Structure 1
């Protein structure tokens, strides 16, 4: 679990003392904002003595999109499996004014699944059983299942950032919204072969709802909560007026951009990714869409987002692949 964010002006080998320089890299307001956004993470913590478990991120590579995200994720998974760890941001003194806070926000967003925040509704023994059951479903040695598990946890964390008071039904729906992929896409993806993308997604949601309800039975959740989870999962691929459904859509879409979009592009290529970006943008409410500039995406994804916005302003139709 991620416990501390340590800020380093240069690098550990450059003679910088993180505990002395880190606090100066963020203003009090910036530090307070990050602490509010990522509760449970000590922001600007002093560097502990010795070689404590940690991951290091070069801020210069992060800002230039030169960082190897797969290697970073692999390291984070290994650290998390062993317990608590720190995250060190290096070379922050090389950034422009405000760059340290922006980079910290983006990196913590990428790593938020290792924070695993909860609220009053999910800080219960029943929800602990839900989390344990959810984890048991995934063989994390399979790359696609690892990606799906990470995405589920990330959607859950996005949901709590967007609505700290989210009910247990919404949080469970965040965890189980893509459970159907355990059956249909555990070893290879098929969505790009669908003739009707929206129909494919609707069927994925319908089957997932039944699987989610069956999986949650016997874990101590009230029947009405399980039914509500099923309703949310069944409808999660279509925006609607239901506030919790809209919250799930926002969290799911933001997780795609902040966590999954780079890997999606590598796996599917630009054509299907462009259609996916358009589809996902349409699921976002304006307030959630306004967060996109604060999310670090690959330049290719940022270009697709900008292109979709320009097409919308020009009144162009959505890509045929993703039209309902």
Structure 2
């Protein structure tokens, strides 16, 4: 679990000690804002003595979109499996330090495992345990789906810190059907009828979620609500919790999945996905997209897509 963000000024180096700096990289207001956005992480922590478990991110490579995200994720997964770790953001300049810290923490937020009153319970710990049991993390697409599920959950709590236990469980289990249909290769972009494929994905996912959650201790009415949210998550409507799930799902695509999506599908299909996902976002959630670091190709697609009220289902995409 990520516990400390250590900010290091100046040129990146192999040194374990922060570079000397005359002024703080973050103002008190910036530090407070990051602490509110990412509770549980010590922001701008002092660098500990010795060689504490940590990952290092070069700020210049990050801002230039030249960082090897696959290698970073592999390292973070290994650290997380062993316990608490630090993230060292090095090579920073005062200007832009807060934004870079925000972007990197957003990319790494699945290692925070933020909870609220509804999910800081023994029952929800069993929900998380049951969810984890479903995933064989040595399979790349399964790992990607697991990371996405955790990231959607974390986005949900950022968007609504009071999210219900049903909404949080639905965030975790909304794409569980992929473990059956797309664990080895993605197929939905080949579907003749995209919306029918996605509706079936949601319907089957609701049944799988209900079966997985049986016996963890959630009340029947909560289980029913989780099933309803998962069953409808491909057709968001006026339901506030469904819209929240949809916003969190869409933001996770941009912050966590879009680079890998581009590599997997190529630019043409990614452009379709970007347009569709932007149109699914409510205005207040779409306003957060410019604060997310995406690859330049994806950023260009975002800038080229006009704002619209709703999105018809494209012939091919992946949620």
Q: Could you tell me how far apart the structure 2 residues matched to 1:270 and 1:12 are? A: 32
Q: Could you tell me how far apart the structure 2 residues matched to 1:82 and 1:12 are? A: 26
Q: Paired residue for 2:89?
A: 89
- Contact kept in structure 2, 1:3 and 1:42, CA below 8 Å: yes
Is 1:104 the counterpart of 2:83? The answer is no
TM-score of the superposed pair, with normalisation by structure 2 = 0.95
Q: Paired residue for 1:72?
A: 72
Count of matched residue pairs:
317
- Can you list the C-alpha shifts for 1:85-142, whole angstroms capped at 9, x where unaligned? 000011102x6x2x10000000000000000000000000000000001001000000
- Contact kept in structure 1, 2:7 and 2:89, CA below 8 Å: yes
Counterpart among 137, 140, 153 of residue 140 in structure 1: 137
- For structure 2, the residue ranges without an aligned partner over 5 or more in a row are none
- Contact kept in structure 2, 1:7 and 1:23, CA below 8 Å: no
Name the structure where helix makes up a greater proportion of residues. 1
Q: Paired residue for 1:203?
A: 200
Deviation of the 1:16 alpha carbon: 9.0
- Contact kept in structure 1, 2:10 and 2:19, CA below 8 Å: no
Q: Paired residue for 1:221?
A: 218
Deviation of the 1:17 alpha carbon: 4.7
Q: Paired residue for 1:119?
A: 116
- Can you list the C-alpha shifts for 1:257-298, whole angstroms capped at 9, x where unaligned? 000000011011112111111221121100000000000001
Q: CA RMSD in A?
A: 2.1
Deviation of the 1:15 alpha carbon: 7.0
CA distance change for structure 1 residues 34 and 212 in 2, over 3 Å: closer, same or farther?
A: same
TM-score of the superposed pair, with normalisation by structure 1 = 0.93
Q: Could you tell me how far apart the structure 2 residues matched to 1:175 and 1:114 are? A: 14
Q: Could you tell me how far apart the structure 1 residues matched to 2:141 and 2:313 are? A: 28
- Can you list the C-alpha shifts for 1:167-219, whole angstroms capped at 9, x where unaligned? 00000000000000010000110011011222211111111001101111100
Q: How do 1:280-295 residues align onto structure 2 when only pairs under 5 Å count?
A: 280-295=277-292
Q: Paired residue for 1:25?
A: 25
- Contact kept in structure 2, 1:277 and 1:305, CA below 8 Å: yes
Q: Paired residue for 2:250?
A: 253
Q: Could you tell me how far apart the structure 1 residues matched to 2:13 and 2:220 are? A: 57
Q: Could you tell me how far apart the structure 1 residues matched to 2:22 and 2:169 are? A: 37
Counterpart among 162, 165, 180 of residue 162 in structure 2: 165
- Contact kept in structure 2, 1:158 and 1:255, CA below 8 Å: yes
- For structure 1, the residue ranges without an aligned partner over 5 or more in a row are none
